[in-house]
Structure 1
Amino acid sequence: MIIYVDVNAQHDGNGSKNLPFRKINEAAKIAKPGDEVLVAPGTYREYVNPINAGTEEERIVYKSEKPLGAIITGAEKLTDWGKFKGDVWVSKVKNSIFGEYNPYTTLVYGDWYFATPSKHTGCVWLNDEALYEVHSIDDCLEGKVYECSWDPENSKRKWYAEQDANTDETIFYANFGGADPNKENVEITVRRECFMPSKERIGYITVSGFNINKAATTWAPPAAYQDGMISPHWSRGWIIEDCDIWGSKCAGICVGRYYDPQNSNFYTTKHVKSPTQMERDSVCRGQYYGWIKGKIGGHIIRRNNIHHCEQGGIIGRMGGVFSIIEDNHIHHINNMMELGGAEIAGIKMHAAIDVIMRRNHIHHCTMGIWCDWEAQGTRITQNLLHDNQRPEFAKQLEGGMTCQDIFVEVSHGPTLIDNNILLSDVSLRIATQGVAMVHNLCAGSFTFVGDGTSWRYTPYHMPHRTEVMGFMTILHGDDRIYNNIFIQKWSDKELVLLNDSRPEDKYTENRKVGTYCFDEYPTYEEWIPQFDLEEEYPNMRKHEDSHFAHLPVWIDGNAYFEGATGFKKEKNAFTDNSGKVYVDVVEKDGSYFIDTNIYDVMKGFEVDMISTETLGEAFEPSQKFENTDGTPITFDNDYLGGHRGTTIIPGPFAAAEDADKKIYGKLSIE
């Protein structure tokens, strides 16, 4: 059955074509498996709360009749502004508009939030651009540049809100930078979510073609209830496709955790247990809450334009397992720099078990992709990442995160990163083990090699399952780095940064490109003899230190340019320090190309074909670097999907001429 919705209908109806509902949520109350909710163009200022789940055979489909024509927003227009003083205007609203959740009394805060908790979940908007929150009317009047912002000119526009207890109103003061708010489109964020079931297990829903924007979402840490502007809410089998998703205070899309009243921001509220311990608790309690293959996860997030969210584009712990995230354009995440904490990235997932992230274009984010804990069976492939680095003019936010294209943290692998183009000044923060880097182009450094994990014991799982197999601290190593190109595109001068959780502690971060940072790690041939394999009755105490030492690494077939330096034990490598090699990403009318002469300089250098057999097994889970269905991989497909034949060269392209082809094009909805 097709259920029709049209906000511009003359009056509310029954969902028929001639008498459509005026609100999507009215359709969401009655939609059953196999139904399609067809939504006419218009602005829908509502929270959509699907009541019924679809099935694997009969999904419930919510579709915008015209691509991006139906707008679901968490904002309301705010009019009747009066001049206060200078460029500052004032208006007010009754708090009854917010119901039980007032975004202007709710702070962005929770476990793993490191910045000063002074920002609220609400926001004031001028013509679809967010104003910056300040702490007083005087700050509004001053309207100075916020020195941490990546967009300094727009940071002069400010807002401040306070409560009038006598009238039960929120009073807004805003500096619109000289604009008259009564002649412009001014909105305030009112609703916490736009499209998310209030109940768990409402699965097999498709959301297609909507513009979803401006929600007062809350901070989404890994051991707490996690919401997003749109979210499957601990269910299975959603498809979110062809949507424009932007303007969330925290998460744009959330594929996050179940609600557990006994473990929700436990550290923030009780202080007495480590937040890391509560993450382990969350993983184990997840089995009780149904975290089992076939019941949770398995979502598809594809062809979306996800941007201008301040915590993350896609966020989630555990609820995104077995999902596919493909062909999305994710950009300008956390650029306002109002929020700081350990959950910020274009994509930030805990327990991305058997998650495939492919063909995404991710740029101008604090971090591109962050896989934290249990990146087991995760594959990051054929993605373009660039400009995921703090501009030189922007001051580092105290409590803000450092920048890189990819961050893999405290996982045991196998984590596969192949055929990507990584052009920011840090390609990979590798505070983890069990990573395979194959056929990538890296213009940035590796950071936190052998560091950044402390004593944390994290879980690993039965292969291609969620059941916990064991826990172990991170030994570092167990990495494979084959057939990549490394080029020192950026300065190799170490960068002095503030520690995210302890800003008073500064540290230096490596910017020198290459695999030399593994020089002190053993090869397998150096590592294995210490275990006395020929002994029938081994001495356990003798091997105790070895069981907590670095694991071996496998590094070969890489090419190094412009000062990038290789692993000292690498046998087959190419090096050119001529000072004439370059690489850059170029945009032409919305399409992206690589401008480089690397392949001309590297001509004649060949490497071996890499496969699952070459890479072996990740140490702790004893799991191969393989497809999510357990079948082996031969890396004969390149970044563009082209075939690698008998002549194999390093980097993401099968042949030199492929580097001249378009590497990313506009989405159809852009």
Structure 2
Amino acid sequence: MEYYVAKKGSDQGRGTKQDPFLTINKAASVAVAGDTVIVHEGVYREWVKPKYKGLSDKRRITYRAAEGEKVVIKGSERIRDWQPVEGHVWKVVVPNTLFGDYNPYAEEVFGDWLVTIDEKKHLGDVYLNDMSFYEVSRFDLLHNPVARTEVKDLWTQRTIPQHNPRQTTYVWYAEVNENHTTIYANFQGVDPNQELVEINVRRSCFYPVETGIDYITVSGFEMAHAATPWAPPTADQPGLIGPNWSKGWIIENNIIHDAKCSAISIGKEASTGHNYRSVRRDKPGYQYQLESVFTAERQGWSKDTIGSHIIRNNTIYDCGQNAIVGHLGCIFSEVHHNHIYNIAVKREFWGHEIAGIKLHAPIDTQIHHNRIHDCTLGIWLDWQIQGTRISKNILYQNHRDLFLEVSHGPYMVDHNILNSEYALENVAQGGAYINNLIGGKMSRRRVMNRSTQYHLPHSTQVAGFALTYGGDDRFYNNIFIGEEVGTYHFNDYTTSLEEYMEQVHEIHGDVEEFERVKQPVYIRNNAYFNGADPFERETENMIERGYDPRFSIIDQGEVGFLAIELPESFEHIAGEIHSTTTLPRVRIVDAEFENPDGSEVILDTDLLGERRTERSVLGPIAHLKRGKNYIRIW
């Protein structure tokens, strides 16, 4: 059955094309498996809360914008009755009943792994013609806000400049009492009653209240202005849109922006732990995160009940924490062809758990063909990166591109372009890095004080725990460019399982034997340019440290190009096509590199979808050649 929603409709109507509903929520209260809700043009200021679930991939409930029509769902309300106070400052007094039981101007940005900057922040916001303001903590700062010009990256300790000068101009401050909320804002000479001015009111735009609302499709909307809370892996993780601990959602072809924290959530819910580190303060967050995995497993966390979401062809920008976030609920999902930018660059608040894509336990999750730029961090995968594939993504102009943390594999990183100042932070083991083009700094670290879970292959069942010893990585057919780039970090590692075991058993003992010997690494057929350095025991490679390939990504908006100039000798090196059969199995997890269904993985198509020949050129594009290359990549 089809239900229709239009701005000319009525919720007392029948929801037909001739007699449409007025709100999407009315349709969401009656749509059941197999139904489609078609929404016509207009701005819908509501939090859509689907009531019923689909029953299978073929019996979904689909919500979609009418063909060729612009449909916007906003968590904000327009405010027109601003009153001048002094200078460029105006105020409005709104009743707290506008917010219900969730007042964003009283709710603080709070939770585990949050590092606040200078002062507390709240989940409210003010928008002038869709431009968000900055919060200040006192009324007098409305006239003279304190500008923050830089912050420190919590992992690298590098300085991150504050990019957005609006902090010193467009600011707001709120006072909340029992009955009213007073919002003050500096509009810099603009009359807010003559412009589009909106304030955050709702936590989410499209998010079920109950868990287990499976098989929902949301397609073709613009969604914005949600007062989403901080979303660490040890808490409930609501987003502007998300399935709320369900299975089989498809979120596609949407424009999503201005979530206070996270835009799309495919993460955990509160019953498995909710900010206990910050509330109870009796254990580290690491311990509570361990507990959340086992709590979820006891409550039925498995492929049969959770995950298997598809997030594709969305444009996501201007969010304070993440474009896509998830812990546990992201299993067996696919995230592809999304354009993500301007994530966590406003920096009103700061902490860990910030990235364009930040997933914990992305078991068998496939992340491919995404374009991610101008973010604090591009992709950050953390804990239980097993069966995960990060493939054919383009990352550039981020503070950091790719961060992989405390996991044991097997995971694959193939055919990506990483071109930010800081390209790869490898704090994991058991990875396969194949046919990538890496033009930013790289680092590698062991973690010997946090043991994390690994699983039976293609399953959520925990098989064991391990520390992150580092190594057990495979680097084949990559191009490395620049200083502090390359595989030299592994110079004191073994090169085969046989060599590793021989050294381990030179002494008698147990745990201490394995702690003292570096795990094997498998490194071959890589190219190193412009200061990049190889692993000292790599036998087949190309090294031209003094050669500058003039590598860049040229972003022209709707289209983008890779520019790179390769030396004459580039035509003399090639690499084999890698697959399950060529990649040594992962030592600790004792598992193969496979597709999620257990079939053989074969890396025989490049970033652009072209088939590779038996002996193929290095890097992510099969027709790279010596001399100048200027190739369209989106």
Q: Report the TM-score range of the alignment, normalised by the length of the smaller protein.
A: over 0.9
Aligned to 1:496: none
Quick check: 1:513 aligned with 2:524?
A: no
1:528 Cα shift? 2.5
1:463-516 deviation digits (Å, cap 9, x = unpaired): 00001001111111111111100011xxx4xxxxxxxxxxxxxxxxxxx11111
> Which runs of no fewer than 5 residues in structure 1 stay unpaired?
390-403, 493-511, 533-537, 665-670
Aligned to 2:158: none
Detail structure 1 runs of 4+ shifted over 4 Å in the superposition: none
Q: Which amino acid aligns with 2:173?
A: A
For 1:295-306, list aligned pairs within 5 A. 295-306=305-316
1:192-250 deviation digits (Å, cap 9, x = unpaired): 01101100000000000000111000111111111000010101000000000110001
Aligned to 2:86: 85
Return the match for 1:378 from 378, 388, 393.
Answer: 388
Q: Which amino acid aligns with 2:65?
A: S
Distance (Å, rounded) in 1 between the aligned partners of 2:337 and 2:510: 51
1:228-287 deviation digits (Å, cap 9, x = unpaired): 000101010000000001100011000010321x72111111111121111110001111
Return the match for 1:320 from 322, 330, 344.
Answer: 330
Distance 1:130 1:478, change over 3 A: same
Identity of aligned residues (%): 40
For 1:573-652, list aligned pairs within 5 A. 573-598=541-566, 602-652=570-620
1:306-347 deviation digits (Å, cap 9, x = unpaired): 111111000010001000001000111011011211111000
Quick check: 1:663 aligned with 2:633?
A: yes
Q: Which amino acid aligns with 2:41?
A: P
1:547 Cα shift? 4.9
Aligned to 1:139: 141
Q: Are the aligned partners of 2:576 and 2:614 in contact in 1 as well (CA < 8 Å)?
A: no
Q: Are the aligned partners of 1:145 and 1:152 in contact in 2 as well (CA < 8 Å)?
A: no
Q: Are the aligned partners of 2:492 and 2:518 in contact in 1 as well (CA < 8 Å)?
A: no
Aligned to 2:198: 187
Aligned to 1:65: 66
Distance (Å, rounded) in 2 between the aligned partners of 1:119 and 1:211: 26
1:8 Cα shift? 3.1
1:600 Cα shift? 5.2
Aligned to 1:500: none
> 3-state DSSP class of the match of 1:138?
helix
Aligned to 1:206: 217
Distance (Å, rounded) in 2 between the aligned partners of 1:184 and 1:454: 56
Distance 1:644 1:354, change over 3 A: same
1:31-81 deviation digits (Å, cap 9, x = unpaired): 011100000010000011000000212100001004561111100011221
TM-score by length of 1: 0.89
Distance (Å, rounded) in 1 between the aligned partners of 2:89 and 2:547: 53
Count of residues paired in the alignment: 619
Structure 1 range deviating more: 546-555 or 54-63 = 546-555
Distance 1:345 1:415, change over 3 A: same
Aligned to 1:217: 228
Return the match for 1:481 from 472, 475, 498.
Answer: 475
Return the match for 1:434 from 406, 421, 430.
Answer: 430
Distance (Å, rounded) in 1 between the aligned partners of 2:45 and 2:565: 51
Q: Are the aligned partners of 2:529 and 2:548 in contact in 1 as well (CA < 8 Å)?
A: no
> 3-state DSSP class of the match of 2:291?
helix
Distance (Å, rounded) in 2 between the aligned partners of 1:581 and 1:562: 7
1:662 Cα shift? 1.6
1:402-425 deviation digits (Å, cap 9, x = unpaired): xx1110000011111000010011
Q: Which amino acid aligns with 2:290?
A: R
Return the match for 2:500 from 527, 548, 558.
Answer: 527
Distance (Å, rounded) in 2 between the aligned partners of 1:339 and 1:59: 38
Aligned to 2:175: 163
Structure 1 range deviating more: 87-96 or 230-239 = 87-96
Q: Are the aligned partners of 1:531 and 1:543 in contact in 2 as well (CA < 8 Å)?
A: no
Distance (Å, rounded) in 2 between the aligned partners of 1:165 and 1:611: 63
Distance (Å, rounded) in 1 between the aligned partners of 2:307 and 2:25: 24
Q: Are the aligned partners of 1:249 and 1:310 in contact in 2 as well (CA < 8 Å)?
A: yes
Structure 1 range deviating more: 34-43 or 520-529 = 520-529
Structure 1 range deviating more: 603-612 or 121-130 = 603-612
Q: Which amino acid aligns with 2:49?
A: N
Q: Which amino acid aligns with 2:456?
A: M
Q: Which amino acid aligns with 1:568?
A: E
Q: Which amino acid aligns with 1:517?
A: H
Distance (Å, rounded) in 2 between the aligned partners of 1:249 and 1:60: 28
Aligned to 1:463: 457
Aligned to 2:113: 112
> 3-state DSSP class of the match of 1:545?
helix
Distance (Å, rounded) in 1 between the aligned partners of 2:507 and 2:535: 33
1:160 Cα shift? 3.3
Distance (Å, rounded) in 2 between the aligned partners of 1:300 and 1:106: 31
> 3-state DSSP class of the match of 1:142?
coil
